[in-house]
Amino acid sequence: LEVLDDKNVVAQNVQRVLFCTGKIYYDLFQMQKEEKSTDVAIIRLEQIYPFPHNQFEAIMKKYAGKEFIWVQEVVDQTSF
């Protein structure tokens, strides 16, 4: 799959959706585990080109009304 959903959260409980690629996912996942966060979903984009429009749109619909954030790097690991 080109877009991997977060299997560790329930969509109804999510307030914020983080999109990322590559190894930054593992930093975010570690922070999610340490904080026992259930209101932040981490979505991994495994392919950007060609962009997986259908899979991305399905994620956007699943988490409609939530805050969406693109994560390029983690600077401050004290706030998730």
Do 14 and 60 contact (CB within 8 A), yes or no? no
- pLDDT tens for residues 36-51? 999 999 999 999 999 9
The strand pair at 67-70 and 16-20 is best described as: parallel
Global confidence as pTM: 0.90
pLDDT tens for 14-25 read 999 999 999 999
Query: What's the average model confidence in pLDDT over 4-13?
Result: 97
pLDDT in tens, 58-77: 999 999 999 999 999 877 66
Q: What angle do CA 60, 37, 65 make, to 5 degrees?
A: 25
pLDDT above 90 for 27: yes
